[in-house]
Amino acid sequence: MPDKRIFLFFLMLICSISAYAEPEWVLKKDKDGIKVFSAPVQGSDFRMVKAEMTIKANLSQVAALLSDVGRHPQWVYNIKEASILKRMGPMEFVYYSEVSAPWPASNRDFVVNFKMSQPSPGILVIDSHCEPGMLPEMAKKVRVVFSISHWVITSQGDGTVKIEYSIQFDPAGSVPAWVINTFISDGPYKTFKNLRERVNLPEYSRAHYDFLKEK
């Protein structure tokens, strides 16, 4: 067992390093002010994806929307269920999420560590990664064991923010890589469209986080 744990540790380390090295991005979609890119990942059949757009909002609004996990099924692409499992503080929590998969594939579920930070005024960074062992696996669902995502939300100083999001994941199970890669731009594009529509709802436009400096 110790050997297995060591192997998994180095596997995750290698994947993390490759995910944050500068990839060879290819533009896949440029529509409605939203750009979606994909890039190959060394040692994986699944491509990495990145989306970016600029919207009218501030950092607290975006943080409030992304942190409102219970409402993710209303706007995040194909999310069926989501709930917070544990809070470690105002800037970090662990949540559970189930993703609907088309027949005959089984739904996927994630246990995700979500952590916000502010490296400098005007910039919000959010890093997420899977922690699959925090919750027992559930019947008829495939537990995703590897997923890392990275958000950078930058205040533009004119009432807008630029949002950049990237994710690398392995859906586990028997889903062919070509199926995932074929439709890889759909999810981020639709999620970003919905985010832009929802971020100015009253519950988010009134949000304020003391730990965030807007500029």
- Please give the pLDDT value at position 14: 42
Number of folded domains in the chain?
A: 1
Angle 81-187-132 from CA coordinates, rounded to 5° = 45
pTM score:
0.84
- Please give the pLDDT value at position 10: 39
- Look at residues 76, 90, 61, 53 and name the one whose alpha carbon lies nearest to residue 165: 53
- Please give the pLDDT value at position 174: 63
* Tokens 């929307």 -> residue: 65
- Please give the pLDDT value at position 153: 98
Is 93 among the domain residues? yes
**CA pair distance 15, 37, nearest whole angstrom:** 19
* Contact criterion met (CB below 8 Å) for 87 and 93: yes
pLDDT under 50: residue ranges of the chain: 1-2, 4-20, 178, 181
Is 124 among the domain residues? yes
**CA pair distance 175, 104, nearest whole angstrom:** 10
Is 133 among the domain residues? yes
Is 68 among the domain residues? yes
Show the domain range for 85. 23-205
Residue 145 burial (C-beta neighbours within 10 Å; 0-12, 13-18, 19+):
middle
Please say whether the dihedral angle defined by the alpha carbons of residues 8, 14, 20 and 25, taken in this order, is positive or negative.
Answer: negative
Which CATH number fits the domain that encloses residue 189?
Answer: 3.30.530.20
- Please give the pLDDT value at position 13: 41
Is 161 among the domain residues? yes
- Please give the pLDDT value at position 19: 44
Is 72 among the domain residues? yes
- Please give the pLDDT value at position 105: 76
Is 18 among the domain residues? no
* Contact criterion met (CB below 8 Å) for 85 and 98: no
Is 56 among the domain residues? yes
* Contact criterion met (CB below 8 Å) for 60 and 212: yes
* Contact criterion met (CB below 8 Å) for 172 and 108: yes
- Look at residues 140, 114, 113 and name the one whose alpha carbon lies nearest to residue 125: 114
